[in-house]
Amino acid sequence: MFAERIDFSHEASLTIDELVKRVEVHLPESDLGALRRCYEFAERMHAGIKRSSGEPYIIHPLNVAGTLVKLKMDLDSIMAGLLHDTVEDCEVSPEEIAKMFGQNVAQIVVGCTKISKIKFKTKEESQAENFRKMVVAMAQDLRVIIVKLADRMHNMRTLQYMTKEKQQAKAQETLDIYVPLASRLGINSVKGDLEDLCLRYIHPDIYYRLAEKIAMKKRERESYIEETITLIEEKMLEYSVQGEVTGRPKHFYSIYKKMQQRGVDFEQIQDLLAFRVLINNITECYKVLGIIHSAFTPVPGRFKDYIAIPKVNNYQSLHTTVIGPKAERIEIQIRTFEMHEVAERGVAAHWKYKERNKSDAVNKLKWVEELMEFNQNVENSSEFMDVVKNDLDVGGVFIFTPQGDVKELRYGATPLDFAYAVHTEVGNKTVGAKVNGKMVPLKYRLKSGDTVEILTSKTQTPSKDWLKICKTSRAITKIRQHLMKVERDEHRVLGEDILEKALKKFDTSIKSIEKKQEFKIILEKYHYKTLEELFVNIGSNHLPIKEVLVALPSVNFTETDELDFKEDDKELESFYKKTQKTARKSTSNDNAVIVDGLDDVMVKMGRCCNPIPGDPITGIITRGRGITVHTLGCPRIVEIEKSRNVYVEWNKHYTFSHPVNIKVTTHDKPGILSKISKSINNAGINIRSAIARSMPDQKGNFIFEIEVKDYSELLKTISSIEQMEEVISVNRA
Ligand code: MN
């Protein structure tokens, strides 16, 4: 009855003959001679070595290979399983293995050896580095990680022979590194087993208490399971659906997790039993769901359709919880045999169907690619670790586009993550978001089922702050890429400018130096490929302008030459220069806006558009009156010449409040004004004034002048008012 769960128990009497027999069933066409040669080689290499259990060492590689057969992996993997410890423990060279058993097998063994050498330390920084290496090893050939998982499975099963300290450390490492990997690769059979083993060594008290409780009513429970299965089978027969019904207690770890999540004790956990119905096709899955829901009372909110919307690791199934025959909650999973294969074996299932085409299976795992891309963009490995850990967390939220398409994002994802999931350009241009038709702040946490509409603006660009908002590696990577490109562009323009002005001092120009081909000298000297690269290096201060001038034959540079060009510049040009050079470091000033690093500039907000922090803005130099800040969408700035524009940004350290008007239209109900006011005040927002008007059509119209810190606070206020039943619309006035 429990046959569908793969049994990974340690097999003390497993022999090569038995292994060959099993492989013959599962891979009938394969080269069994090679498999035997592998075994003989491994046995010779490990000869005389014993495991902590006292058994000959070879029993370990044999069991690892056995596990790979159970996962239905290909022959290369099984052979690598037999050989996986030879390079590390027996000083066999990878070349030897390649010569005897082929390049593929050697590569997997080398990958496993590399991972074994990673010393997982408690310090997060080094652990992150190791994890990074592991992902790199995995991306080269996913089979490496599957062999490694099989290795870890067997080691965890024979952990009782180790010291207590070793048990704890191994179990913790398994829970931190291997369980998330198994989960992300969709190998649920391995994940479930590993988790229970970890629980046993990390929280033995809880593990044995659970084991005891479940064993206590074993008889009773088994007959209950039997009864329920018969009941389901009869109902299915009634509707002439054929399938396989099984049932059993849930994994300890999942019960433990539930206890933790709900903060309750074992006695209060009700749904300890899980049933599974396996059938032939998808239509019948829904049919069976209907049958079960009519036979038992479903528990509201517990139905999940992972068939229509598969998990990111390709898991598909219907889940529901119902009140069983004895008023006990039971969980029922319904899926096809094929889906079950994928659920138990995850990526490993790919090798069964597409044996020769391993790159295809790898390609299916887009997240590995994304991780690799991210890997190249990050210096800090603990940051990388965070992102990896987050991405490995399979639990996600399903978000709908207004067109009804579905995206799965990880928990905690924000509208900004969603925007980047739709398209990089959408992400880059995001100015706001509506969730289920209402405005929300960009840092809003999305919930499953939310429909998200992204509002974009052509003039919007990503900012550093977005890195704090985003939770998915895709979004973070794209924002970083953008910021890097912008910085490079700025440096290029600045560098060209500095060089041009410097050359002017010596009565020449970039153009004329280029004509004489003198830049060649510098490009060669510093190994730059293009003139552009030279500009970037000047602009970013990596190459002092003096070095350039000295190297150019047309420039007669002497140490006494004055290199300060500022005085010659006109008013606007000096502005630019100062702004760029001071880098945006000054943040402690009293203005709401930083004018490209200048402290001592008078700044006013445009009355026409009344910008508040978070709005995309630009500054306009006013004759003699400092700078006026306008929103990028303000019609006034179109009238003003481009040359008077300066770059400005919001000062994050500025905490004054900004007045802004919002217009609220409501159904005219008594007390509505005070209700809205209360809601605004409760959010900690100050109301400066309120104007109320009753309209002839039974609608109320209010204009509130409120004080907000920034744009997102405004959005938050607006959305909290919108949520009121009586409110028809809320707009910025
Ligand atoms: Mn091993």
Q: Residue range 60-83: average pLDDT?
A: 94
Q: Are strands 329-336 and 273-279 parallel, antiparallel or unpaired?
A: parallel
Task: Identify the pLDDT of residue 581.
Answer: 44
Band of the pLDDT at 123, cuts 50, 70, 90? Answer: very low
- Give the percent of the chain with pLDDT over 70: 80
CA of 47 to the centre of ligand 1 (A): 15
| CA proximity to 104, closest of 393, 452, 396, 356 | 356
Q: Domain-by-domain residue ranges, the chain?
A: 16-202, 213-349, 363-480, 482-586, 593-650, 658-732
Q: Check: CB of residue 452 under 8 Å from CB of residue 421.
A: no
Tell me the C-alpha distance between 332 and 114, whole Å.
41
Which residues share a beta bridge with 455?
432
Q: CA 727: distance to chain centroid?
A: 37
| Most confident of the following: 221-225, 565-569, 576-580, 606-610 | 221-225
| CA proximity to 442, closest of 466, 460, 419, 415 | 415
CA of 102 to the centre of ligand 1 (A): 20
Q: Check: CB of residue 429 under 8 Å from CB of residue 479.
A: no
As a dihedral over the C-alpha atoms of residue 276, residue 278, residue 284, residue 286, rounded to 10 degrees, the angle is 30
CA of 52 to the centre of ligand 1 (A): 13
**Does the pLDDT at position 318 exceed 50?**
yes
- Look up residue 598 and give its DSSP letter: B
pLDDT in tens, 6-50: 889 999 999 999 999 999 998 888 899 999 999 999 999 999 899
Q: Which fold has domain 658-732?
A: Alpha-Beta Plaits (3.30.70)
The superfamily (CATH) of domain 213-349 is Beta Polymerase, domain 2 (3.30.460.10)
Burial class (CB in 10 A: 0-12, 13-18, 19+), 389: middle
pLDDT in tens, 252-282: 898 888 888 777 777 777 677 889 999 999 8
Burial class (CB in 10 A: 0-12, 13-18, 19+), 50: exposed
| CATH architecture observed for domain 363-480 | Roll (3.10)
Q: What is the set of active-site residues? A: 88-89
Tokens 């002439």, residue?
A: 240
Q: Residue range 412-416: average pLDDT?
A: 90
φ and ψ at residue 448, rounded to 5 degrees? -55, 135
CA of 151 to the centre of ligand 1 (A): 5
Tell me the C-alpha distance between 403 and 534, whole Å.
47
Tell me the C-alpha distance between 475 and 478, whole Å.
5
**Those residues with Cβ within 8 angstroms of residue 309's Cβ, 6 or more apart along the chain or in another chain:** 398, 406, 408
Burial class (CB in 10 A: 0-12, 13-18, 19+), 480: middle
CA of 670 to the centre of ligand 1 (A): 75
- Give the percent of the chain with pLDDT over 90: 22
DSSP percent split of the chain into helix, strand, coil, nearest 5: 50, 15, 30
Task: Identify the pLDDT of residue 119.
Answer: 59
Q: Check: CB of residue 409 under 8 Å from CB of residue 391.
A: no
Q: Residue range 156-174: average pLDDT?
A: 90
The superfamily (CATH) of domain 16-202 is Hypothetical protein af1432 (1.10.3210.10)
The lowest-confidence range among 102-111, 369-378, 445-454, 687-696 is: 369-378
CA of 85 to the centre of ligand 1 (A): 5
Band of the pLDDT at 639, cuts 50, 70, 90? Answer: low
Strand boundaries in 178-303, DSSP class E = 243-249, 273-279, 297-298
Tell me the C-alpha distance between 466 and 482, whole Å.
12
The lowest-confidence range among 283-287, 376-380, 565-569, 661-665 is: 565-569
Q: What contacts 24+ positions apart, CB below 8 Å, involve 708-713?
A: 708/612, 708/657, 708/658, 708/660, 709/613, 709/655, 709/657, 709/658, 710/612, 710/613, 710/614, 710/650, 710/658, 711/612, 711/613, 711/614, 711/615, 712/441, 712/442, 712/443, 712/614, 713/441, 713/685
The lowest-confidence range among 50-59, 403-412, 455-464 is: 403-412
Number of H helices, E strands in the chain: 33, 21
Task: Identify the pLDDT of residue 642.
Answer: 64
SS3 (DSSP) at 249: strand
